[in-house]
Amino acid sequence: MRILLTGRNGQVGSELERTLAPLGEVIATDRTRLNLESEDDTRRVVREARPDVIVNAAAYAAVDKAESEPELAMRVNGTAPGVLGEEAKRLGALLVHYSTDYVFDGEKRSPYTEEDAPNPVSHYARTKLDGERAVAASGCRHLVLRTSWVYGPRAANFYRIIARKAAAGESMRMVDDQTSVPTTSAFLAEQTVALVRKSATGLLHLVPSGEATRYEFARAVVRAAGSTSQVQTARTAEFPAPARRPVYSVLSNRKAAAMLGASLPDWESLLHAAVKTWTRA
């Protein structure tokens, strides 16, 4: 099996390069080799690679910056996945693509299922929803995985901000009015491979079990790090940002768990295991 991976230097892509290896030959690309901003470049790289599976881990992920770079964000998140889908269909390949909990508006107060209607409240979220729809419209075999609050030891993410403060013993204020599911990049990569092995297709929500506010997540990081840092509550309104975030974007993982044949681990146990691993490294 030949697998074309985009975004190899990102926090999810770097994990996927490792976890995909047992499935076959992995052709791992970064932005210098496959520029999703260019339709011609994207088609050329896919046609040269002739993969059986395309895993698109690249994305425009700057939620706030997308408000001031709408066209660039749309090219990468909205248009490029459709181009990959068209090329996947031409080859008879499977396209695995990642989306986000932010496609929902946060008005619900129970976990969102795959059947719930999206209603994005930021430009970033609109581009991600357009990407989902472009993949489906291409007619290729596809697996679209919505996930949330992804973090790992690489790249800039919410976990690393907290971990730096915890290591320095600094106090911090974290919002307690945004709730979702923290997801390690390793979990996402490992479960992606498990789903590919099971020939899963369609739309799935892929997150650990449970839910947390950003405040609860921060406290859990501090505990896992053995830090004495104090964490105080705050409200989102105290930290104005260009892009709106849904206040509740918990995803139900029941469909993915049924496909995998087992319940998925809770986010806090994954956090503690990950911190131990990263500390040893």
Mean pLDDT (whole number) for 263-276 = 94
Average pLDDT, the chain: 96
Q: What is the pLDDT of residue 276?
A: 83
Q: What is the pLDDT of residue 136?
A: 98
Tokens of 125: 């979220």
pLDDT > 70 in the chain, percent:
99
Q: What is the pLDDT of residue 281?
A: 55
In a domain, 168, yes or no: no
In a domain, 213, yes or no: no
- The 10s digit of each residue's pLDDT in 47-103 is 999 999 999 999 999 999 999 999 999 999 999 999 999 999 999 999 999 999 999
Tokens of 147: 């996930």
Q: Is the pLDDT of residue 210 over 90?
A: yes
- The 10s digit of each residue's pLDDT in 90-144 is 999 999 999 999 999 999 999 999 999 999 999 999 999 999 999 999 999 999 9
- pLDDT band for 280, please (50, 70, 90 cuts): low
- Could you identify the residue written with the tokens 């974290």? 174
Active site residue 124: yes
Among residues 102, 112, 124, 215, the one annotated as catalytic is 124
- The 10s digit of each residue's pLDDT in 139-194 is 999 999 999 999 998 778 899 999 999 999 999 999 999 999 999 999 999 999 99
- pLDDT band for 277, please (50, 70, 90 cuts): confident
Total of domains in the chain:
1
* Contacts with 64 (C-beta within 8 Å, 6 or more apart), sequence order: 241, 242, 243
In a domain, 174, yes or no: no
Q: Where are the beta strands (DSSP E) in 101-218?
A: 141-147, 150-151, 172-175, 179-180, 183-184, 202-205, 212-213
pTM, two decimals, is 0.96
In a domain, 170, yes or no: no
Mean pLDDT (whole number) for 24-45 = 96
Mean pLDDT (whole number) for 235-252 = 96
- Residue 114's domain spans which residues? 2-152+183-208+251-261
In a domain, 240, yes or no: no
Q: What is the pLDDT of residue 155?
A: 73
Residue 111 to residue 2: CA distance in whole angstroms: 36
Question: For the purposes of burial, counting CB atoms within 10 Å of the CB of 235, is it exposed (0-12), middle (13-18) or buried (19 or more)?
Answer: exposed
In a domain, 19, yes or no: yes
Return the CATH number at 91.
3.40.50.720
Containing 100, the helix (H) or strand (E) segment is strand 94-100
In a domain, 280, yes or no: no
In a domain, 77, yes or no: yes
Question: For the purposes of burial, counting CB atoms within 10 Å of the CB of 232, is it exposed (0-12), middle (13-18) or buried (19 or more)?
Answer: exposed
